[in-house]
Chain A
Amino acid sequence: MGWLYRLASVKLTLIGMVLLCIGAILSYGSKFDFSVWVLVLPLCWLSINLLAAIATNRKINRQPGLLVFHIGLLGIAVLAAIGRLTHLDAQVEILTGQAFEPALMQEVKKGPWHPWGLAGGEFIQDQFIVNYEPGLMRGATYSHVYVRQPDGSREHRVVGDDKPLLLGDYRFYTSFNKGFAPILTWLPDEGAPVTGSVNMPSYPLYEYKQKNAWTPPGTKEEIEFWLTLKTPYTESDYWSLQQESSSGVLVVTAGDQRVELNPGDEVQLAHGRLRYDELRMWMGYTIFYDPTLRWLFFVSVMAVLGLGWHLWQKTAQALPMPSAGNEGETR
């Protein structure tokens, strides 16, 4: 059993805490993408150390409050490690009318044990409204989505701000990032037509530079797009951003050719025709996955209550209150 006592050493705790601090600094304060193991290994170290301490240290396991606190700490360390190993953070931009597909995710950061529980078509993005107050202050966001049900039907939900779309343990938060996307069809001189969208930069954040470019498949000529928008945008009053009150003229530049297109218009370019079908919007979501969240909450509260219980008892022992007889005594 000597090995168990050695594992419970306070020196090992200190080393674990220093390693955890280093891991936290590497993880959060660095531009480099460090492995989650810089956090997970110190957390495992501390968990083993804590478990050994709970088993062997009588000061801990004979005082109920302290025991509850240390079990809470152990829970936090284990859950934090599991959370880092399984987490996922990502961004996604989804067009109105488009179904979510995992392939659309960008800036994906995930733990090595992430279980990938997201299938395609989990929900379809419908219209959304973002309210603005004077001074261009973003108010409430109402994003309408249709979520696939087990029986194949679709359930309507409205998400936004502090009400994420919950798909299992995946949480989709509407972000400040949203904008317009012209839907284009490329009709090449040879081959089948292709329809797709060109997502313009976030609106109204980049209201002044609604530009993007695209190179049609099989060609080398880049086509530049500039979207001139008509929206209720104003800095001095309340207004709402939504597709139905927005329209846009698409300025297409290819080589020396420059043409303005309204929805339904098309233009003949060097290798085919380009049709501007319609103007839609895209909504940006931040995706967050950490299956330990609710458990982390419970063990944190448990640890605090255990600490409170212990310290209250300790305070009562170390700092006993005087009896009524000498309460009024002065120094």
Chain B
Amino acid sequence: MTNNFSFEINSLLVALPEIFLLSSIVIVLIIDLFLTSKFRQATYYLTQLSLMVTGILSFNLIGHPETVIFSNSFILDNMASVFKVFITGSSMVAMVYTRHYLLQHSLYRGEYFVLVMLAVLGMMVMVSGYSMLTLYMGLEILSLSLYTLIAIARNRSIAVEAALKYFVLGAIASGLLLYGISMVYGISGSINISDISAFAHDPSINSRDTLILNFGLVFLVIGIAFKLGAVPFHMWVPDVYEGAPTSVTMFLSTVPKIAALAMLVRILVDGLGSMHDYWSDLFLALSLLSISVGSVVALMQTNIKRMLAYSTISHVGFIMLGFVTGVVSGYGAAIFYVLVYVLMSLAAFGVIIILNNKGYEADQISDYKGLSKNSPWFALVMLIVMLSMAGVPPFIGFYSKFSILQEVVSAGFITVAIIAVVFAVISAYYYLKIIKFMYFDESDKDETISAPMDIKLILSINGSLILVVGLFPDRLMNISMSLL
């Protein structure tokens, strides 16, 4: 048994980004304690620096041969490294907006940044998890940090309420996920993804074992659907999006989706890929429900954060549709979709945060009336984002929807593709409504919106990426396709 515990120092280098991030979290937490209010900006810069170094370390590991360390519980492959780069990168973008928001709403505290870094650490563990235990621990590090982040606006009763709802529903989700894990462990005898996969692929598996595996599988799918926010497990999404401070909404609506997708790939594709016939039916139902409910209910929303929440639900439906196909290119299209979604969502919430100045809470859709006259540039970025989310070419959102539908059609689900397209057309209504408000309605207030230079720069880059990547989607598509 002793050789189970032997490890070489080289194997630690594989987990270098996580180890570095964990050390810097501890260091930033301690440094923040001793900062006087004059230097409190330092926490922000240290956070950005740590995230950047973590991203660079992950970037250097791209192309590293597939390695499994820590007794088969931690994997480094291209998918993990690429996802880690995207996770750290989009977190850095989110932090730029976040600082502005926190200063404006006097929520600026050192803990906020530490919690965000902890959430990033949790997500990195999730994308690298190769046993149920590591996946679960990563998920919990992420969730516990997010509950606290929402409640950080502790005097806002709506934020506290959102934190409570997220906490309770998140706890149910982890309970269901754990029950599923225990069933899969019980029947396959291992918590390692590779062993579970070997068990499920075994042709001599008898029908009783398949039945029990299936029983656990249902719970796993429910747990993952909860975390992704798919209908009918979407109840928390609109409430949390509306109640949380906008900077937290921005963070939790974007980056954790990448990690949840990675967990989905690890458990359902790597682990239980041979059970695809069973879980693809569940996914089909979940994704059709998500697309329809997300598109229709969003029509009635007057709060833009709530509207974007329902729009997220319908995007999640499209992402899950990619997994129904059961072919690698379908999974690749789903990965492409999630990366594109993160790009669009960051820009959308970026505009909301910029408009969220003191005395001008841009929560309501009607707040966007006449935006094109007051601040034409922000209105233009919002226009790009909305058109992209609606799936209008040449923006990137078109290609993500197109590639998913292409895979769905070639897998033979023509009716499903038609239903998805119909609801995508319905959902275009509320995206266009915002554009109509911005460009064709008169504003009842005529203040110009100003924003610091760094935010303007990031928002411009973000907005133009939606257009540029939309014109040349091949590169991102190739990356997504090569990950599996």
* Chains A and B are bound partners: no
Query: Which residues of A are interface residues toward B (Cβ below 8 A)?
Result: none
